Structure 1
């Protein structure tokens, strides 16, 4: 039986902080992007700050993707995002590849 390749769009790049101050606009942007594709890739490499509101947005997108039988994957993490996922001990629960860059000299 042939497998159906899921429609993928270019990664959605979040370049602003994922904080309570940006949460409402980012929520709509993330959900709209999820509805537009079968497999949403999210690039968070430019996020300098993330708080609990930002974390909740990531949980929401993952949950909605499962509910809609779609995929949502974080394909690039900033140090702030990695630190938050580590703090909440949620890296494994998210299931995304977590690349840690080499230390700067």
Structure 2
């Protein structure tokens, strides 16, 4: 087993929306998962809507993770999440989610 295999790993799935209405509830859940030395994977598989409050929450979680010695990664096929992160120009800080190619 190498050092990467020994890092505690936690997955948190967000479904529906990550918006002003749900950000406070999600903040408490996400911050509670940030234990020193853990890798938190936030899965956006079911996210249909994300607004600026949702993106701000992700920035907060990423910053808090750094302070606590944690690692955060964003995963999942959510065009809404990918578009919001890109629109707010936060892909470099948060990590880019794969988005579906646009046709047209």
TM-score (norm 1): 0.82
- Tell me the residue number matched to 1:57: 57
Larger deviation, residues 81-90 vs 59-68: 81-90
Provide closer, same or farther for how the CA distance between residues 100 and 51 of structure 1 changes in structure 2, counting only shifts above 3 A.
Answer: closer
User: Quick check: 2:36–2:69 contact (8 Å CA) kept in 1?
Assistant: no
User: Quick check: 2:82–2:98 contact (8 Å CA) kept in 1?
Assistant: no
- Tell me the residue number matched to 2:93: 93
Aligned length: 101
User: Quick check: 1:17–1:48 contact (8 Å CA) kept in 2?
Assistant: yes
Deviation at 1:44, TM superposition (A): 1.0
CA distance in structure 2 between the aligned counterparts of 1:74 and 1:27, rounded to whole angstroms: 15
SS at match of 1:47: strand
Larger deviation, residues 69-78 vs 87-96: 87-96
TM-score (norm 2): 0.82
CA distance in structure 2 between the aligned counterparts of 1:80 and 1:35, rounded to whole angstroms: 28
CA distance in structure 2 between the aligned counterparts of 1:88 and 1:37, rounded to whole angstroms: 28
- Tell me the residue number matched to 2:8: 7
Matches within 5 A, 1:44-83: 44-83=44-83
User: Quick check: 1:23–1:54 contact (8 Å CA) kept in 2?
Assistant: yes
